[in-house]
Amino acid sequence: MIILITGASKNGKSKIAEEIAVSYNLPRFYIAAMVPYGADAREAIARHKNMRAGKGFVTIERYTDIGGADIEPGCAVLIECIGNLLANEMFSGAGQADADIRIISGIEHLADMAEALIIVTSQVGADGIKYEAQTMEYIKNIGKINSRIADMADCVIEAVYGIPVILKGEMPL
């Protein structure tokens, strides 16, 4: 089962994703993609760690190459989040070329191994503003990745002010 959760920043995506992951009576893995650069990132990471404390997650910090994450077959995996993962893939090491393909390939690999794959992403680019070339490439890539995951997903949820709005499939709780 693949579940994609999208929405604007600070709209409850992580809370919804964790509730879904915890509903599975399976080993739980949390793939954290946010690199702890700066105070804001460290604060966000601490907030997310507190949110999932005591919920049985094994945290895997994986900033690129998510397909290489060491998970148990038949588990529940929560990926947080595609936006951070894409930025890492595009702007550190491997470069922009094929970042979307690397991420989709990793997701396909994890989906083959996991019983439940819960993926958090963000909606970007809806403001219609034209940005610098690198930012526009990022917006294009996240759109391609989100579209591909939504196509693969059994359930797509948009978090709107903490309320899960089902866009595809049925709520897996």
**CATH class of the domain comprising 2-168:** alpha beta
Tokens of 165: 């709005």
- Answer yes or no: is pLDDT of 94 > 70: no
Question: What was the pLDDT predicted at 66?
Answer: 94
For 40-51, the pLDDT digits (tens) are: 877 877 777 777
For 95-154, the pLDDT digits (tens) are: 667 899 999 999 999 999 999 999 999 988 778 788 899 999 999 999 999 999 999 999
The torsion region of residue 132 among left (phi > 0), alpha (psi -120 to 50) and beta comes to beta
C-alpha distance from residue 29 to each of 55, 69, 79, 118 (Å): 10, 10, 8, 10
- Answer yes or no: is pLDDT of 61 > 80: yes
Instruction: Record the pTM.
Output: 0.91
Domain boundaries, the chain: 2-168
Secondary structure percentages of the chain, helix, strand, coil, to 5: 45, 20, 35
